[in-house]
Structure 1
Amino acid sequence: MAYLKRLSSFFAEKFSSAQVLLTGYIVFIMLGSGLFMLPISSAEGVGLSLVDAIFTATSSISGTGLIVVDTGSYFSGFGQAVVALLIQIGNIGYMLFFALAVVFLGKKLSMVNKIIIKESISTAQLNLDLFIIKVFKYTLIIEGVAAVLLTLIFLQDFPFPEALWLGVFHSISSFCTAGFSLFPDSLIRYNDNVPFVFIIIITSYLGCCGFYVLHDVSLRLKYFFRLKDRYRLSVHSKVVLVISFSMIAIGTVVLFLVENIKQGPGKETLLTAFFQAAAAATTVGYNNMDIAGYSDPSLHAIIVLMFIGAAPSGTGGGIKMTVFAIMLIALYTFLNDRKHVHLFKRSIHPRRVARAFSIMLMAIVWNFFAIFALSITEDLPALFILFESVSALGNGGMSAGITDDLSWAGKVVLTASMLIGRVGPLIVGYTLLRNRNKADFQYPVGDVLIV
């Protein structure tokens, strides 16, 4: 452990925290790819090709869920365990695993490691030692409860050992919003099982909201039940809860109405619409019906939900719902000729606003590049290419059924998108462009016409 700590500190001193974070994910992707190429990972003893192995490892570590081979039938028990492990490490955060080991051994985190961890969980105002322990506490409790409940449901169709593994795997995949399933049809076979639908969605929603929100809400509930002084939720938690519920509710109504209008009454049930809207909004990526069967307006609605995505410090992807909220409020503020951006009677710092718009712009730019590249390498409908690109960058995991038909070049483009979506477009920008030694200065003010 001392060796790992010295190695981590060495890299952190030589490189920026963003560079260390991105490099760490790449290392785990390479390790996972090597394991997937081993014959032991395959049910038939034939490992994946290099491109498919890297694609699958990146999809696992990023919590995307796009697949080029069927997870349940292609991989052996060992291969499935590797998928689950990569999902857990990548989406809880490999730096948090390192930090937990340090804390349990009674060591202190160095300042550089604290900076990297804060980058990885997208928050800066926390007692890290306490937060790290809380992360694993919430993870074990939520995944444990979900695994038990899912196992009980799977016992109706499978023997206990298989039902237990299905329960454990899908609980990890749900909470980490990864969307990997051991069934060839994702979760279509359980599309009318109400308890199953709600277990999956609640588990993925808890992962989507983020550990900061879970901690904040748990304190609010503790104070409420103990009848103590009121504990106020943070502005961040309020934004996440309001935006997430709104996205799921609006998405459900849109999918339900559009499908029943475009394809005839009874085409879409309210339960199916709710599941698909929630799966897109949380970026868990499961589907309980054939995505390619949706009409164009519904596909566009799902694209928007995946692009916005989950909350910071959570396991989901997308540009983040807080970014979306800040941009909407900033636009409203500008149109009303006001100087300050306000959310829940609090002012948002201009640097946060600039960061939100930067993330949005970089996501749009990369998506444009990815779509342009895929339109060259693939002979597929434009809407399907758009859907696949947004799904990869937003770590949404839903597919219109074209992933396994992509060329090796197309898979490389989506692999890059998934990795960028996992670490964040802005982090990648910091990694490539930021100069640690460059002084901050200001030139005389100039003017540029906008309109």
Structure 2
Amino acid sequence: MNYITKKYRRFRLSLSPQQNLLYGFVSYTLAGWLLLCLPFFQKQAVSALDNLFIATSAISTTGLVTVSVFDTYNGFGQFVVMLLFQIGGIGYMTFTSFILLSRTGNLTHWHQRILNTEFAMPRDFQIRDFLRSVIIFTIGIETIGALCLYIAFTRAGVEHNFAVWSSIYHSVSAFCTAGFGLYNDSFEQFAGNTAVNTILSVLAICGSLGFIVVTDIWNRLTGKTRKITYTSRIIFTVLTVLLAGGTFMIYFFEPSVSTLESSRLTTSFFQAMTALTTVGFNTVPIGGFTLPVLLVVILLMYVGASPSGTGGGLKSTTLTALIAIMWSRIRNNNRVVFFGKKIPLERLYVATSVFILYATVIFVATLVLAFTEHFSLEQILFEITSAIGTVGLSTGITGDLSPWGKAVVIFVMFIGRLGVLTFGLAVMARRKLWKTRATQDDLAV
């Protein structure tokens, strides 16, 4: 047994941080899949592919489903799904690293490297303070969210016992921006319930803002720092602008929302929020949206949440870096400056690479589904953008995908959770830095 343990440990240490993340998420996905396949966790039998789809959707915190979670899995199965999106939401290394830190007071260099890779933290962040804030904030916000949802659900007429489980499940799902629900219509029956909409929105925004922002605010409140970091200011700015813009577009240009009258603003805000934070809940049928508004939602899903948070997408800071590059070129500035700060060249390389890889995955996956499925282009594009952004919104085609279509979406969801650049580095990168001896030449662009 000791020999096997040593071999396993040696194998893990030989992997790069990106490969360790890939290995870890694959392991958790397969473990969840095997559990969901057992009759003990099921109300009714479904195919192995559907179970794999649900397991991948949960660990990636996406929320796309081919079968109803409530109708397919019993309480134990629903708990497994919740456990998967809890692990996927805060990162599979977080709990083990926190336990190690609590017991020994230190983290190994191996743990620190993987955590830095998983959360993409700024260089001036202390990993120990960051890890503690992640655990404390997660437990605290999910507990408060569950209590608030319980009160809101019982006042809305939900039966007591189900309200208890539903409030816990949806609090975790909202904070982890997982989009999994126990209601087959998501939250359409609560479209006019301001309390439920507000609680879910606060939970999702808290999760999507990112633990960098949480740690930053905590350090500011406790006096460890005098002001919030540049990254946090960018995150707040982008979130505010896109959330306001998305709400405006849905409010004024979506006919299905204009008929709601008293809850029109709440619904418009909720649908913009659910796309941008990648939580994936909906209070109106997305399939009924007009094409212009559908494209706005696709854009919000494409940008997504913030780095180190529970949400997916391209990330708000990546969008900022790309805008900064464009703005600097237009102004003929040889330095990339945004909000009065020069962005490091290394970060610009990463942002550009992520953007290209992200667009490539969307294009290839959309092209494949255009061959295998019979749906319209906008429906396929919406589904793939939702999958890679780990959003979970759908126009209603997920359950009708062919086996090949489901396999493609599974693969895209997994890449979306791991990150396109992390996946690329895990699969293709050399272990050591590649020093090229190529000579420089000009390229017309």
Same fold (TM over 0.5): yes
The answer to whether structure 1 residue 433 and structure 2 residue 428 are counterparts is yes
Q: In the aligned structure 1, how far is the partner of 2:4 from the partner of 2:230?
A: 37
1:33 is aligned to 33
Distance 2:99 2:424 in 1: 30
The one-letter amino acid of 2:185's match is D
| Deviation string, structure 1 residues 103-160 (Cα, Å, up to 9, x no partner) | 1221632212211111111215322222111110000110010000001111232333
Instruction: Spell out the pairing of 1:409-420 with structure 2 (5 A cutoff).
Output: 409-420=404-415
Q: Is the 8 A contact 2:219 2:225 kept in 1?
A: no
Distance apart, 1:4 and its partner CA: 11
Q: 1:400 Cα shift? A: 0.4
Aligned counterpart, 2:364: 369
Task: Give 2:388's match in structure 1, choosing from 368, 389, 393.
Answer: 393
Question: What residue number does 2:18 align with?
Answer: 18
Q: Give the whole-Å Cα distance in 1 for the aligned partners of 2:309 and 2:354.
A: 17
**Offset from partner CA, 1:202-256 (integer Å, 9 cap, x none):** 1000000001101112333445xxxxx9821101000000001111110000011
Structure 1 contact 9–112 (Cα < 8 Å) conserved: no
Q: Alpha carbon RMSD of aligned pairs, Å?
A: 1.9
C-alpha separation in 2, matches of 1:221 and 1:109: 26
Q: Compared with structure 1, are the counterparts of its residues 86 and 449 closer, same or farther at alpha carbon in structure 2 (3 Å cutoff)?
A: same
Does the 8 Å contact 1:8/1:113 carry over to 2? no
Q: Does 1:266 align with 2:259?
A: yes
* 2:270 maps to 1:275: yes
The residue aligned with 1:86 is 84
Correspondence for 2:235: 240
Deviates more, 1:122-131 or 1:143-152: 122-131
* Of 349, 352, 371, the match for 1:354: 349
Aligned to 1:117: 115
Question: Does residue 320 of the first structure (1) align with residue 315 of the second (2)?
Answer: yes
Q: Note the C-alpha offset of 1:313.
A: 0.3
CA distance in 1, matches of 2:180, 2:53: 14
Work out the CA distance in 2 between the residues paired with 1:218 and 1:113.
Answer: 23
Verify the 8 A CA contact 1:12 1:113 in the aligned structure 2. Answer: no
How many Å apart are 1:54 and its aligned residue?
A: 1.1
| Residue in structure 1 matched with residue 211 of structure 2 by the alignment | 211
Q: Which stretch shifts more, 110-119 or 439-448?
A: 439-448
C-alpha separation between the residues in 2 aligned to 1:352 and 1:414?
A: 29
Q: Check conservation: 1:259, 1:267, Cα contact below 8 A.
A: no
Return 125-134 or 208-217, whichever deviates more.
Answer: 125-134
Separation (CA, whole Å) in 2 of partners of 1:283 and 1:176: 9
Give the alignment's TM-score, normalised by structure 1.
0.94
Question: Contact 2:257 / 2:267 at 8 angstroms: preserved in 1?
Answer: no
* Displacement of 1:350: 1.0
* 1:7, distance to aligned residue in structure 2 (A): 6.9
Matched, 1:130 2:129: yes
Letter in 1 for 2:127: L
Residue matched to 1:70 = 68
The answer for the alignment partner of 1:166 in structure 2 is: 166
Equivalent residues of 2:66, 2:398 under 8 A apart: yes
112 and 441 in structure 1: CA distance in 2 versus 1, 3 angstrom threshold:
farther
The answer to which of 264-273 and 167-176 deviates more is 264-273
2:147 is aligned with 1:148: yes
Q: Secondary structure at the match of 2:310?
A: coil
1:423 to 407, 418, 426: 418
Residue pair 1:9, 1:110 contacting (<8 A) in 2 also: no
- Whole-angstrom distance in 2 between the partners of 1:3 and 1:255: 60
User: Contact 1:41–1:77 at 8 Å: present in 2 too?
Assistant: yes
Distance in 2, Cα, partners of 1:149 & 1:396:
24
The answer to whether the Cα contact below 8 Å between 2:322 and 2:348 also exists between their aligned partners in 1 is: yes
Cα distance in structure 1, aligned partners of 2:217 and 2:132: 17
Aligned partners of 1:122 and 1:5: how far apart in 2? 30
Report Cα offsets for 1:265-300 as digits up to 9, x if no partner. Answer: 536711111000000000000000000011011110
Which residue identity is paired with 2:273? A
SS of equivalent to 1:166: helix
Q: Check conservation: 1:306, 1:394, Cα contact below 8 A.
A: yes
- In the alignment, the residues of structure 1 paired with residue 102 and residue 257 of structure 2 have an alpha-carbon distance, to the nearest angstrom, of 58
Distance 1:95 1:230 in 2: 27
AA aligned to 1:448 is L
- Distance, in Å, in 2 between the alignment partners of 1:110 and 1:397 is 35
Amino acid at match of 1:131: F
Q: Identify the residue that residue 95 of structure 2 maps to in structure 1.
A: 97
In structure 2, C-alpha distance between the alignment counterparts of 1:442 and 1:91, rounded to whole Å = 42
Of 246, 252, 272 in structure 2, the residue corresponding to residue 251 of structure 1 is 246
- CA drift at 1:339: 1.1
CA contact (8 A) 2:251 2:257 kept: no
Contact 1:370–1:413 under 8 Å retained in 2: yes
Whole-angstrom CA distance in 1 between matches of 2:146 and 2:303: 28
Q: Which residue of 2 aligns with 1:333?
A: 328
Distance 1:84 1:147, change over 3 A: same
Q: Which amino acid aligns with 1:325?
A: T
- With over 3 angstroms needed to count, the CA separation of the structure-2 counterparts of 1:161 and 1:7, relative to structure 1, is farther
Ranges in structure 1 where 5+ consecutive residues have no aligned partner:
224-228
For 1:142 and 1:264, the matched residues in 2 are separated by 30
Alignment gaps of 5+ in structure 2 = none
1:236–1:95 Cα change, 3 Å: same
TM-score, length of structure 2 as denominator length: 0.95
Look up the equivalent residue of 2:228 and give its one-letter code: L
Deviation, 1:90, is 1.0
User: Does the CA contact (< 8 Å) of 2:298 and 2:385 recur in 1?
Assistant: yes
In 2: Cα distance, 1:438 partner to 1:424 partner: 21
1:391–1:12: structure 2 CA closer, same or farther, 3 Å change rule?
A: same
**What SS is found at the alignment partner of 2:130?**
helix
Q: Which stretch shifts more, 181-190 or 107-116?
A: 107-116
Where 1:68 maps in the other structure, the secondary structure is coil
